[in-house]
Structure 1
Amino acid sequence: MANRLREVLLNGHWIANTNYKEQIIDLNWQQATQRIADLNTIAALTYHINYYLDGLLNAFENGKLEISDRYSFELPPITSEKGWNELVAKFLANAERFANKVERMEDDTFDRIFIDEKYGTYLRNIEGVIEHSYYHLGQITLIKKLIVVDIS
Structure 2
Amino acid sequence: MNSASQLAKRFREVLLEGFWIANTNFKDQLTDVTWNQAVTKVDSLNTIAMLTFHIHYYIAGIVNVLEGGALEIKDQFSFDLPPIESEEQWKDLLIRLWTDSEKFASLVEKISDDKLDDVFVDEKYGTYRRNIDGMIEHSYYHLGQISLIKKLLAHQ
TM-score for both structures, normalised by structure 1: 0.97
| Aligned residues of 1:63 and 1:115 also touching (Cα < 8 A) | no
Task: Give the aligned partner of residue 26 of structure 2.
Answer: 20
Map residues 15-54 of structure 1 onto 2, 5 A cutoff: 15-54=21-60
Task: Give the aligned partner of residue 119 of structure 2.
Answer: 113
Among candidates 119, 130, 148, match of residue 136 of structure 2 = 130
Task: Give the aligned partner of residue 2 of structure 1.
Answer: 8
Task: Give the aligned partner of residue 64 of structure 2.
Answer: 58
Among candidates 121, 146, 152, match of residue 152 of structure 2 = 146
Distance in 1 (alpha carbons) for counterparts of 2:47 and 2:61: 21
**Identity across matched positions, percent:** 57
- For structure 2, the 5+ residue unaligned runs are 1-6
**Deviations along 1:126-148, whole A, 9 cap, x unmatched?**
00000100000000000001111
Question: What is the Cα deviation at residue 63 of structure 1?
Answer: 4.2
Q: Which runs of 4+ in 1 moved over 6 A?
A: none
Aligned-pair RMSD on alpha carbons?
A: 0.7
Task: Give the aligned partner of residue 75 of structure 1.
Answer: 81
TM-score for both structures, normalised by structure 2: 0.94
* Equivalenced residues, count: 150
Distance in 2 (alpha carbons) for counterparts of 1:69 and 1:4: 24
- Give the aligned residue type for 2:110: R
